[in-house]
Amino acid sequence: MTKILSVFVFLVFLLPSNLMQKALAQDFVEREAIPMNPEKGKDTRVFYSVFVQSFYDSDNDGIGDIPGLTSKLQYLKELGIGGLWLLPVHPSPSYHKYDVEDYYDIHKDYGSLKDYKKLVKKAHELDIIIILDLVANHTSNKHPWFKKAISGNQKYRDYYVWSDNPKDFEKEPYQWHQVRNDKGEKQDGERYYGFFWWEMPDLNFDHPQVREEIKKIGQFWLGKIGIDGFRLDAVPHYYPDDQLNKNLIWWREFRAGMDEVNPDAFIVAEIWGGAEKTSPYLKSGISAGFNFELSDTIRKSVLSGKNLGIVETVINIQEQYFVSNPNFEDATILTNHDMDRIMTELKRNNNMAKVSAALLLTLPGNPFIYYGEEIGMLGEKPDEYIREPFLWNIEGEDSGQTNWEIPYASSSKTVKPLFYQKDDRMSIFNHYKSLINLRNQNPALSQGSISPIATGNSKIVSFFRYSGTQEAIIIINLSSEMERILTPYGLDGFEMAYSNFNVFKINDKEIYLQPYSIFILTR
């Protein structure tokens, strides 16, 4: 037991193990969490979200590709990653590729289907699962289906949504678009619906053939390519907001189609909003929805230096999810490819970034790390600036460094590259790596239930995680100042699993915690 631990254990209350949970419930726990399903918990993984174009370049064209990503799987394994979400990889006219031209192929800059199969095979050998970003709410206006539709082919015209009603155009002037000719000139006549952009026409999911097409696409990737699931784009927008039930019916149909190939497929959905918006989809075969509500609470708490109900938010969300699906899962994030990067949000404060990571990786759910978060990459909208090249080394020092875009936010002048962070014990990279691997090794953190521990200090986040075989206590100071909490009664047998600071001062009644200090004790 280290000196830090011996001091810390002095402040804690020693109890026999079989009385532990009862004592917490009586003395510390303000509210009991819903127990996690142990069978579901076995599959909890830390995911890594990667924009292939910016990750690693294998052929020196400046653009990241699938072989380059495959060559870096060992890096991800050592980081502790168990799942990989690739942002869209299909042929597309845009850099972001959220407007698909062909659902059965890989963009030529990224490689080939053969390369993708090699990625999946190698990832599986390392026990890393792969999920595909499936963008099926709309296609590119260059997709063969849409080209045939505007050429007069009635079969494919029915694949899209059309109107000649001026009242529709008045109601949603930015969603109804005129067909354009080869010169880009707008044509009179019926207009097509495109919720996001005129180059992204929405598919008509009232048409049975469209639903069959999308199910076939999903079955192809699960069955022929061997992926393990999907990240579904724009899930609530397949039907209008006032047709929620039709949306839920569609996703049940989609899930049933995927179950024919892989009943264990992990399907995570983009559903912006709180638990009340996500919960209905958990009844319809969606494995999990991204938890934007928790992300928001973590970010605001860390920025303010005050706990704005982080654990209470988790429990509130769990309760709503449980009603929809007792076997619910969660997908937690700090930020993603549509949001300003967390390090920028936190005003480049390294300590705040470490605290945020500690919260993400000790709270329940499947944490998703956006590529570059683990080295503190920066970026704010427009979108290109939050999808910049990953910094493996100083520019020019690694032949695989992508350069498709000149970095605006994250260069070696503003962010220490991975090469130099690896040997820095105090780097944000080693902080992420230590926390991820601790989570992977400890069932209480990876699949356990959660209960808050009352501290009497609004600047401290403290909670208890417990599974059938492991227990953990997390205490985090969100503040930039020394903070005091009342000394708990103590917890026998706990050992310090991770800390970024020594406890500054302890006595029989109080603990004094250094600014941004993080303590994880396990038993």
Catalytically annotated residues: 233, 270
Dist CA 474 CA 463 (whole Å): 5
DSSP at 25: I
Backbone phi, then psi, for 421, in 5-degree steps? -75, -30
What are 360's two structure tokens? 């993400």
Token pair 């006549």: residue:
189
Dist CA 117 CA 132 (whole Å): 12
* Residues 115, 232, 325, 297, CA torsion sign: positive
* Cβ-based neighbours of 288, under 8 Å, separated by 6 or more: 266, 267, 268, 269, 282, 328, 329, 330, 331, 365, 366
Q: Is the CB of residue 484 less than 8 Å from the CB of residue 467?
A: no
Return the SS3 of 427.
Answer: coil
Alpha helices in 80-189 (DSSP H): 113-125, 144-150, 154-157, 166-171
As beta bridge partners, residue 365 has none
According to DSSP, the β-strands at 495-499 and 518-522 are antiparallel
Closest by CA to 359, choosing from 287, 430, 309, 288, is 309
User: Which element (helix H / strand E) includes 288?
Assistant: strand 288-289
Return the SS3 of 406.
Answer: coil
